[in-house]
Structure 1
Amino acid sequence: MAADDYPLIKGVASKASPLVEDLLKEDPRSTPALDAKGNHFPAEKRIDLSRYLSPAFAELEKEKLWKRVWQYACREEDIPNVGDRTAYSVGPLSYMIVRVDERTIKAYANSCLHRGTRLCDGTSSGERIRCPFHGWEWNLDGTLHHIPSRWDFPFVKDNEYHLKEVKVGTWGGFIFINPDPAAGPLEDALGVLPEHFRSWGPENHFTYARARKRIRANWKVTMEAFLESYHTIETHQQILSTLADASTQYEAWESATSHVSRLYSPMAVPSPHLGDEASREAAALELAESFMMPGMEEIRFKVDPSSPLSARAQLAQWRRNLLQMFTGADYSAWPDALLLDAIQYWMFPNFCPWYGEGGPIVYQFLPDPGNPQQSIMDVRILAPKPGNGIKCPPPSPPVHLDFDESFTDKVPLFGSLSMVFDQDMANIPRVQAGLAAAHESGTDIVFGRYQEMRIRYLHEILDRQLSL
């Protein structure tokens, strides 16, 4: 029998770890996003492993994927002032995102029209865009401003030497680009994201911490490791006491123009693998410690045994109070899930924003410019913008990690997440190496029916995009 012929089991529960839909019933508050159900379930999928290995496949992705889709490039806070710019590179392609004026953001091919020199590396600022090689200059709107020794370029017409512009769109503080001049609007590609995230507001956050990690694995291998909670039982055993991995709910939303999926893992709830006797009170106490920061010792979370609220609900209320102290905003209507749980969305091809304050993380997965078996993972942790008249801090610059450098050693602001990421980094290159061996031997790979449905969905849409 094929996998799709078997009954579909959507996660398992225990007395201590209910399924998501049952957990949500414990809280009278909700949002449309939490209650939303997907409209698509990907079919059984078997794939040619060369897509993880082959330079030819990476070239196909460059031409038919990266040059043709809306993709998250950076955040608006990365270029807060007029003249600020930042580079966005995806494989061998590179673009420059520029704040032209207070309300206008443009993106250009990151290449001088004289000899091709890259115009922007990292972030920079200035009244004009100047090539570091020969000093050709453009205005922020992309129009040509100055050529040294102009007498030697009589054939250069100003109106023909405008920087090559690509489409730009913004949502929730995120900046997206699309190199395809025939592309439809960003709103069509976002699908359910604006509606679902409206109750949280990513635009009201700033980058508290950020890292960019080089990884010895194809960008899809790296991303797939973060599209499911199935690996938690083996890879992240230390968080089984606080995360209901096998109770995770998976959804996918499909339309003609957008492809979005979601993973919803309950927190402050033990894994069902730990059995009926696992303690939800202990789970709440342990999770609370991960939210602690220096200076918070006086307000450490404690479970009140006389309260009519569960330990999880008490923890959520503790977080409401903390956030209100920091921002001055009212969080009384926020569901517990929005304050505690790991709710991660994915938008094709490589954008993973998390929903809520339980895990306000943003993932971006990028192919290496020269090696299809290497990639870059960009991770941001967002924090609410402070209120009470406090000026919002500038975004944290990225910490650059080479292949063998660890999050634990280099990114202290990630807290306990650093250990989780280091555990993933130990696995991912092994997956890449194993896929290469499997391809040589003709071995097939298999995806779980439910827990790995988001990976099947990725490859389903990728096949369509690449006309495979």
Structure 2
Amino acid sequence: MANDQIELIPVREDFVPKDVYLSEKFARLEKEYLWPKVWQVVCREEEIPRVGDYVTYEVLDESFVIVRTDAETIKAYHNVCQHRGRRLVEGCGRKARLRCRFHGWTWNLDGSLAEVLDRSDWDGCEDMSDADLALKEPLIDFWQGFVFINMDSNAEPLEKYLDPVPSYCDGFEFSKMRFHWSKSVRLPCNWKVALEAFNEGYHVAATHPQLLDTVGDDRTVSFAFNKHGMFGYFEGTRPLGTPSPRTGKPVPDDIRPGLIQYIDQIDKTLNAIITHRDAAASRRLMTDASADDDPMELLGKLAGFMQEAAVADGAGWPDMSFEDVYKAGTDWHVFPNFVFLPYPDGALFYRSRPDGDNPDSCIYDIWALARFAPGAEPELKHEKFYGKDDWREQDNFGLILTQDFQNMHNVQRGMKSSGFSGARTNPKQEKVLSNFHKVLIENYLNGEASK
């Protein structure tokens, strides 16, 4: 199958060829050699708390049903009737059995065959045992409350696949977080364009200028970890709560108001990572901290105020030191299509998927998780904005996300110019992007196509 290999200008740390986002051939190779071979996040365990609860997950032509079969067990099946190929279920819900509406073939929650209408009509036919007709299962595994599947029966274990992400991020205890909100949107761009918009912090200065007065030094450093990647603010000369050096503004004598303003901005314009509880707790800086405190001491006190508020609220707090949180960075990319921004009291997760075979469209899922006292979680509602222009509405997504969506739309359009050959990725701040494409092409597309 060597003829299927992709002839592209090689990916470098400072260059990604544009065809990886635009080429229909590239999208076909992803469909054949990437998506069937990787671990993909399909849902959260709390989405299916009761026996019989199920959700569906779709990527390209594949559909899966993920169902809780008993109090301790979640299973995944290819969402297809073994008789004539009709999909068994749509969306999410609760079933005692999985029954095809076409001819009534039925399966138990454990995937075993329950009923075939007029089964005796197949007497003497081959491959008609209960085992032959059981629902087909992808691999399934779990990490921090997330459910993963892999269509490749020979795939490496999820624990090995994720390495080293858990060693940096398990301390946040995502498994103890619950949905604050969940939104999905159809975006007019390739799934990788959407994913990469949240894979680097280099864009903040131009895309989110409203943050520059309080974000501190907004220069980031990015790192590749095997197939995954991370970036963070590790070399800053100014602390959070102060103006970016790009503004030309001096560091104020008292950074407490800037810290409070930054927390408020994230809370009000993103409504994720930082919780309303954190925003309220930040105001203690003006009464329980001093303008003379060292900036790192102020950040430590701010984290302490947030922790006290969460514990008093019954939501708990992870056993992480300030150094642990710092080391974990700001943003992680789990290959191929999962990105998250972690924080002790909340976290924001992104999942990007192709929208059918169209390389100019994708489905983008956004999950805001937070800590809640048991029983205080809001009712889970998955909002879907799949209309042509739904992504344009700031009321649906808030200022920060809407600013990002504008970039995605215009990047996809702009890359089609004959005057553009490829992305000139920043070797220091966008290394996660170039590493992603290098792994995608060399390890999956050309690597698999050449076998």
TM superposition score normalised by structure 1: 0.80
For 2:118 and 2:176, how far apart are their aligned partners in 1?
47
Partner of 1:191: 163
- Deviation string for 1:50-102 (max 9, x for gaps)? 22122221111011110011111111111111111111111222211121222
Is 2:425–2:434's contact at 8 Å kept on the other side of the alignment? yes
For 2:250 and 2:86, how far apart are their aligned partners in 1?
63
Partner of 2:411: 431
Pairing of 1:423-462 with structure 2 (within 5 A)? 423-438=403-418, 441=419, 443-462=421-440
Alpha-carbon shift at residue 272 of structure 1 (Å): 2.8
In structure 2, list runs of 5 or more residues that go unmatched.
1-10, 234-238, 268-273
Is 2:138–2:151's contact at 8 Å kept on the other side of the alignment? yes
Match of 2:396 among 388, 401, 410: 410
DSSP-derived class of the 1:115 partner? coil
Is 1:79–1:99's contact at 8 Å kept on the other side of the alignment? yes
Partner of 2:401: 421
Pairing of 1:71-220 with structure 2 (within 5 A)? 71-154=40-123, 155=125, 156-220=128-192
Partner of 1:347: 334
Alpha-carbon shift at residue 393 of structure 1 (Å): 2.5
For 2:430 and 2:279, how far apart are their aligned partners in 1?
38
- Deviation string for 1:31-50 (max 9, x for gaps)? xxxxxxxxxxx953534422
For 1:84 and 1:229, how far apart are their aligned partners in 2?
38
Letter in 2 for 1:260: H
DSSP-derived class of the 1:360 partner? strand
For structure 1, which segment, 158-167 or 101-110, has the greater mean C-alpha deviation from structure 2 after superposition? 101-110
For 2:145 and 2:422, how far apart are their aligned partners in 1?
41
Is 1:320–1:332's contact at 8 Å kept on the other side of the alignment? no
Partner of 1:224: 196
* Number of residue-to-residue matches in the alignment: 412
- Deviation string for 1:405-461 (max 9, x for gaps)? 2463235xxxxxx210001111111100111224xx563431112111111011010
For structure 1, which segment, 238-247 or 137-146, has the greater mean C-alpha deviation from structure 2 after superposition? 238-247
Cα RMSD, aligned residues only:
2.8
For 2:414 and 2:342, how far apart are their aligned partners in 1?
33
Does 1:382 find its partner at 2:355?
no
Alpha-carbon shift at residue 358 of structure 1 (Å): 6.6
TM superposition score normalised by structure 2: 0.83
- Deviation string for 1:330-357 (max 9, x for gaps)? 6686428849x97111111011132223
DSSP-derived class of the 2:111 partner? coil
CA 1:237–1:362 in structure 2 vs 1: closer, same or farther (change >3 Å)?
same
Alpha-carbon shift at residue 385 of structure 1 (Å): 3.6
DSSP-derived class of the 1:97 partner? strand
CA 1:120–1:307 in structure 2 vs 1: closer, same or farther (change >3 Å)?
farther
Letter in 2 for 1:383: A
- Deviation string for 1:140-197 (max 9, x for gaps)? 1111111233344443332211111100010100111100011121111010122212
For 2:101 and 2:206, how far apart are their aligned partners in 1?
50
Letter in 1 for 2:382: P
Partner of 1:3: none
Match of 1:263 among 226, 231, 235: 231
For 2:131 and 2:95, how far apart are their aligned partners in 1?
22
Alpha-carbon shift at residue 276 of structure 1 (Å): 5.8
CA 1:330–1:103 in structure 2 vs 1: closer, same or farther (change >3 Å)?
closer
Partner of 1:234: 206
CA 1:331–1:442 in structure 2 vs 1: closer, same or farther (change >3 Å)?
closer
For 1:267 and 1:161, how far apart are their aligned partners in 2?
59
CA 1:332–1:286 in structure 2 vs 1: closer, same or farther (change >3 Å)?
farther
For 1:397 and 1:452, how far apart are their aligned partners in 2?
34
Match of 1:393 among 357, 377, 380: 377
CA 1:71–1:208 in structure 2 vs 1: closer, same or farther (change >3 Å)?
same
Letter in 2 for 1:467: N
